[in-house]
């Protein structure tokens, strides 16, 4: 490590070699210019509030280097070398995926394994030897894990103008089994500099993570790294200690660290959501780092951990404590990393924010891109998230009081969520008998106790049957039901204390209860986990085609950095297929995670549903308005950085348009209209690379409605964040949100 660091430092101080850049794709524009000056490429752009920003690039001994970064005429740093390290292991299909397929009688062929392994959730390619029975082809072997630092063999660069951004690409990057390019991107109107490796591998079964940053920051009396810790308190390190051998991980609130250089600040952070793969919990693993390389230089960047860390279990009784400890430790098999199918171009970015201000001011400017890690309130909408196994009823009963203020409530309130659909009775609580009724009573009592004018807890439940996969369920009021039914027992009967009580034996009983109670079901994690093979296997059933089945869940699982959209293949293909089969069917943004605490990094793992409701229902009023809005598709899903306001289909006849008022933070990438005719899916993509950050615009995308069964709209930004509507079915339902049209 120290030898490699020394080589990087030596490279940084060597004279710059002659630089030849291909400028054929470059077009000069106001606020965005690139020029060759001697052996360097000078890039000047206008940032936020007209800040003058500057970057100078060169090549030394084949290594691209940043000769200078400056903001408002102040030089922030010189002679910086890009650093990437890629760690890879072998992707394996999980037994959790195999079990529902076996129940369906699906043969486990090599072709099926080759396809379904890319949807694995329970996989931890860097965990050797792995837990027997968790995945195919265990144990893992140490030699499967390969770590490689990027090497460079650049002879020149290419500069390309793309709307309001400039891309500077250096070919010749190699990192073990990966090879490709190094690219820097600047955006007019933003103080951002994106540094990324774009690389492919030809090997099969590759799952990987990457660490990235810049080395060569000069140490002086003003040098320090600052960050907010998990409690939100400012911390600093001023490099008074000995050099580091490894990267020092910082558990930084907001996933951002600030490098103060004496003349200004360079903040470093990952993409807000795309950097994060699905996990069971959101324990902050330390996503930014620093490293003191010598008495003269240091480095900083972003990272992912090799393995999961256990959460802090709760429990007063011995039985609950032991069960929670076992569950906490079980998370070690869940660190799935990113997919890298052979030949796919993987994007591995790290973001830098250039500022002439101090660390606190810079931190505030960076967090503005995620609304300070909050889902911004929109008039006429309520922010809903679903599917959390928080064991609320068990937690309350174990504490011996219904007035326990659980920490997860503060987590959701803190990120701006005001409707939570829980999913207790998933490894906790009784399924049948008097114990089940006691547990449900605690569940309903706790949900009622902690719901108020601005926060609603809906006590949902995830059910599972061999013929359905996993189903998330919710009813418009508390309903007592148990997961069994005797031979001569009716579906429903009156309980003298609790009123109507349902006995649910199978999926037919479940749907009968949902019809009677105006409840709904949707497919949990379709085509992965315990729903592998679903909803495909039930697409022709009356239950799937009926109005009690809403659709499926949406979460960023898996993560493939070559995809342009989060959960591009699994989630959106499922959505489009369902509506071609039997619309209207929708996606519901879900979390599917467990215990959470305020010090966790929860925001990056969430997408949420903005449900069109003028008022939040009180618990005792019932939450039918919430479910009715979901059934009507009157909501959009977002990661938070992109918001949709008025939107819907305009026009008549075959020539129509989807129009939407959009608000965003990161510069946009593209907007799209997607449609289906009952058999196939098509789309119209409109580039939005000409947008500046923190903008609003009314997009209007024409499309030919002839023969189309449904249409939906989506917006995606340059950092991989996005928002999308639910499908409009047969264009009969206009959804224009704020003005009520």
Which tens digit of pLDDT belongs to each residue from 700-712?
999 999 999 999 9
Strands 608-612 and 655-664: unpaired
Indicate whether 3 pLDDT > 60. Answer: no
N residues, the chain:
741
624-657, pLDDT tens digit by residue?
999 999 999 999 999 999 999 999 999 988 999 9
For the segment 557-576, the average pLDDT, to the nearest whole number, is 98
DSSP letters of 474-516?
A: E-SS--EEES---TT--SEEEETTTEEEEE--SHHHHHHHHHH
Span(s) in the chain for CATH 3.20.20: 371-640
Identify whether the C-beta of residue 721 lies closer than 8 Å to the C-beta of residue 642. Answer: yes
**pLDDT band, residue 323 (cuts 50/70/90):** confident
Domain 371-640 sits in CATH 3.20.20: yes
What pLDDT, on the 0 to 100 scale, is given for residue 328?
A: 84
Strands 586-593 and 381-388: parallel
**pLDDT band, residue 734 (cuts 50/70/90):** very low
**pLDDT band, residue 730 (cuts 50/70/90):** confident
State percent of the chain over pLDDT 90.
91
Identify whether the C-beta of residue 644 lies closer than 8 Å to the C-beta of residue 662. Answer: yes
**pLDDT band, residue 15 (cuts 50/70/90):** low
**pLDDT band, residue 716 (cuts 50/70/90):** very high
Rounded distance, CA 586 to CA 632, Å?
9
Span(s) in the chain for CATH 2.60.40: 641-741
Strand spans (E) along 150-223: 151-152, 156-162, 165-175, 178-187, 192-200, 206-218
Interacting residues of 3 by C-beta distance below 8 A, sequence separation 6+: none
The radius of gyration computed from the CA coordinates of the chain, to the nearest angstrom, equals: 26
For the segment 451-464, the average pLDDT, to the nearest whole number, is 97
Strands 20-25 and 265-269: unpaired
Indicate whether 366 pLDDT > 70. Answer: yes
Report which secondary-structure segment, H or E, holds 197: strand 192-200
Beta bridge partners of 353: 192, 267
What pLDDT, on the 0 to 100 scale, is given for residue 332?
A: 86
Indicate whether 731 pLDDT > 80. Answer: no
State percent of the chain over pLDDT 70.
96
Options 2.40.50, 2.70.98, 1.10.10, 3.30.70; CATH for 2-87+147-308+319-369 is 2.70.98
For the segment 97-125, the average pLDDT, to the nearest whole number, is 97
For the segment 418-423, the average pLDDT, to the nearest whole number, is 98
What pLDDT, on the 0 to 100 scale, is given for residue 327?
A: 83
**pLDDT band, residue 314 (cuts 50/70/90):** confident
Cα of first residue to Cα of last residue in the chain, in angstroms, is: 62
Is pTM beyond 0.85 here?
A: yes
Handedness of CA 143, 144, 145, 151 (dihedral sign): positive
DSSP letters of 31-89?
A: TEEEEEETTEEEEEEE-GGG-EEEEEEEEETTEEEEEEEEETTEEEEEEEEEEEEEEEE
Span(s) in the chain for CATH 2.70.98: 2-87+147-308+319-369
What pLDDT, on the 0 to 100 scale, is given for residue 38?
A: 86
3-class secondary-structure state, position 661? strand
Report which secondary-structure segment, H or E, holds 146: strand 146-149
Indicate whether 465 pLDDT > 70. Answer: yes
Strands 178-187 and 234-237: unpaired
Indicate whether 67 pLDDT > 50. Answer: yes
- Span 641-741: which CATH code? 2.60.40
Compute the mean pLDDT over every residue in the chain, rounded to the nearest whole number: 95
Strand spans (E) along 497-603: 499-503, 520-523, 549-554, 586-593
Q: At what angle do helices 392-399 and 433-450 cross, to 10 degrees?
A: 90
Indicate whether 319 pLDDT > 60. Answer: yes
What pLDDT, on the 0 to 100 scale, is given for residue 66?
A: 98
230-247, pLDDT tens digit by residue?
999 999 999 999 999 999
373-390, pLDDT tens digit by residue?
999 999 999 999 999 999
What pLDDT, on the 0 to 100 scale, is given for residue 736?
A: 39
What pLDDT, on the 0 to 100 scale, is given for residue 326?
A: 87
More confident residue, 311 or 727: 727
Closest to 234 (Cα-Cα) out of 221, 214, 253, 212: 253
For 87-96, b/e burial (b = at least 16 CB within 10 A) is bbbbbbbbeb
Rounded distance, CA 167 to CA 169, Å?
6
Neighbours of 475 (CB within 10 A): 22
**pLDDT band, residue 17 (cuts 50/70/90):** confident
Identify whether the C-beta of residue 415 lies closer than 8 Å to the C-beta of residue 374. Answer: yes
**By mean pLDDT, which of 115-119, 133-137, 317-321, 600-604 is the weakest?**
317-321
């Amino acid at each position: 490590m120290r030898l490699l660091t020394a080589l990087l430092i030596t490279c940084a101080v060597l004279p710059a070699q002659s630089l030849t850049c291909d400028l054929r794709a470059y077009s000069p524009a106001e606020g965005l210019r690139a020029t060759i000056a001697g052996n360097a490429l000078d890039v000047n752009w206008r940032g936020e509030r007209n800040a003058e920003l500057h970057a100078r690039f060169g090549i030394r001994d084949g290594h691209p280097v940043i000769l200078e970064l400056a903001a408002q005429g102040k030089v922030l740093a010189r002679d910086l070398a890009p650093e990437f390290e890629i760690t890879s292991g072998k992707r394996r299909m999980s037994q959790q995926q195999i079990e529902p397929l076996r129940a369906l009688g699906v043969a486990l062929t090599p072709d099926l394994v080759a396809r379904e392994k890319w949807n694995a959730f329970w996989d931890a390619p860097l965990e050797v030897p792995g837990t027997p029975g968790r995945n195919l082809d265990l144990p893992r072997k140490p030699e499967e894990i390969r770590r490689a630092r990027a090497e460079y063999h650049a002879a020149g660069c290419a500069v390309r103008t793309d709307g309001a951004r400039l891309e500077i690409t250096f070919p010749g990057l190699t990192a073990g089994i990966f090879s490709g390019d190094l690219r820097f991107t600047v955006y007019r109107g933003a103080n951002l500099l994106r540094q990324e490796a774009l690389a492919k591998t030809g090997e099969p079964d590759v799952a990987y993570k990457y660490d990235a940053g810049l080395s060569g920051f000069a140490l002086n009396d003003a040098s320090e790294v600052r960050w907010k810790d998990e409690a939100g308190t400012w911390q600093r390190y001023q490099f008074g200690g000995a050099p580091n051998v490894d990267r020092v991980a910082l558990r930084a609130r907001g996933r951002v660290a600030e490098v103060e250089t004496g003349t200004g600040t360079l903040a470093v952070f990952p993409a807000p959501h795309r950097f994060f793969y699905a996990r069971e919990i959101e324990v902050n693993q330390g996503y930014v780092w620093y490293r003191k390389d010598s008495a003269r230089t240091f480095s900083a960047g972003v990272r992912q951990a090799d393995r999961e860390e256990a959460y802090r279990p709760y429990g007063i009784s011995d039985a609950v404590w032991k069960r929670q400890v076992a569950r906490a430790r079980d998370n070690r098999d869940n660190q799935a990393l990113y997919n890298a199918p052979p030949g796919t171009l993987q994007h591995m970015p790290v973001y830098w924010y250039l500022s002439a201000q101090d660390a606190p001011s810079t931190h505030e400017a960076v967090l503005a891109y995620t609304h300070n890690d909050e889902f911004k309130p929109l008039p006429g909408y309520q922010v809903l998230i679903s599917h959390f196994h928080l064991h609320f009823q068990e937690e309350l009963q174990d504490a011996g009081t219904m007035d326990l203020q659980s920490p997860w409530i503060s987590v959701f309130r803190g990120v701006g969520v005001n409707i939570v659909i829980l999913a207790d009775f998933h490894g906790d609580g009784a399924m049948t008998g008097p114990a089940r009724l006691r547990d449900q009573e605690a569940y309903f009592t706790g949900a009622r106790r902690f719901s108020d004018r601005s926060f609603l807890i809906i006590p949902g439940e995830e059910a599972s049957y061999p013929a359905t996969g996993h189903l998330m369920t919710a009813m418009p009021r508390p309903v007592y039901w148990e997961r069994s039914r005797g031979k001569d027992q009716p579906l429903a009967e009156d309980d003298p204390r609790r009123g109507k009580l349902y006995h649910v034996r199978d999926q037919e009983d479940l749907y009968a209860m949902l019809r009677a109670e105006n409840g709904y079901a949707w497919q949990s994690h379709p085509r992965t986990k315990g729903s592998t093979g679903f909803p495909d296997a039930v697409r022709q059933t009356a239950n799937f085609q009926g109005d009690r089945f809403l659709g499926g869940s949406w979460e960023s699982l898996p993560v493939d950095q070559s995809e342009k959209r989060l959960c591009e293949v699994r989630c959106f293909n499922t959505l489009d297929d369902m509506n071609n089969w039997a619309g209207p069917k929708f996606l519901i943004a879900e979390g599917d995670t467990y215990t959470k605490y305020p010090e966790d990094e929860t925001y990056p793992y969430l997408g949420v549903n903005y449900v069109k409701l003028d008022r939040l229902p009180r618990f005792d009023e019932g939450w039918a308005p919430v479910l009715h809005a979901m059934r009507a598709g009157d909501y959009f899903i977002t990661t938070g950085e992109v918001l949709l306001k008025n939107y819907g289909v305009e026009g008549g006849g075959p020539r129509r348009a989807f129009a939407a008022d959009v608000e965003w933070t990161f510069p946009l990438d593209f907007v799209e209209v997607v449609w289906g005719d009952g058999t196939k899916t098509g789309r119209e993509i409109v580039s939005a690379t000409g947008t500046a950050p923190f903008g609003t615009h009314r997009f209007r995308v024409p499309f030919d409605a002839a023969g189309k069964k449904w249409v939906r709209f989506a917006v995606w930004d340059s950092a991989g964040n996005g928002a999308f509507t639910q499908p409009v079915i047969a264009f009969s339902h206009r959804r224009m949100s704020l003005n009520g049209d």
